[in-house]
Amino acid sequence: QVQLVESGGGLHQAGDSLRLSCAASGRTFSTYAMGWFRQAPGKEREFVAAINWIGSSTNYADSVKGRFTISRDNAKNTLYLQMNSLKPEDTAVYYCAGRSRVATAVRGDEYDYWGQGTQVTVSS
């Protein structure tokens, strides 16, 4: 069992940078692939980024490629999402997710554990 707790959201202006963190409990974090998803008001949850168990492979949604960077620190049981050049369309609740596989995945139904989410609001 893995518990995930996101932090770092808030209100920002377009062009700002922001780093989200996801703290994981349990000893198995280092063997899990992890991902970030987001859900904007009135929209379906969408994939943002994913990283494999050791951090050697990543995937990004086209909408964030070149602006967001996913990383992990297995010694600290923590997942990160560095968000640069924020846009109003990045406004959403951001969720971290974990899957009991080492390889990345882009579909939400491939993940086993979810955090409660952290709100990111970007004003123009």
Assess whether pLDDT exceeds 90 at residue 120.
yes
38: pLDDT strictly greater than 80: yes
DSSP codes, the chain: ---EEEE--EEEETT--EEEEEEE-STTGGGSEEEEEEE-TTS--EEEEEE-TTSS-EEE-TTTTTTEEEEEETTTTEEEEEE-S--GGG-EEEEEEEESSSS---SGGG--EE---EEEEEE-
Contacts of 67 (CB under 8 A, 6+ apart): 83, 84, 85, 86
Q: Distance between CA 28 and CA 31 in Å, rounded?
A: 5
> pLDDT tens, 52-109?
999 999 999 999 999 999 999 999 999 999 999 999 999 999 999 999 999 999 999 9
pLDDT at 9: 95
Q: Percent of the chain beyond pLDDT 70?
A: 100
Beta bridge partners of 123: 13
One-letter amino acid identity for 84? N
- Determine the average pLDDT of the residues in 19-46: 94
What pLDDT shows up at residue 89?
97
- Give tens-digit pLDDT for 85-95: 999 999 999 99
> Who's near 65: CB < 8 A, 6+ residues apart?
none
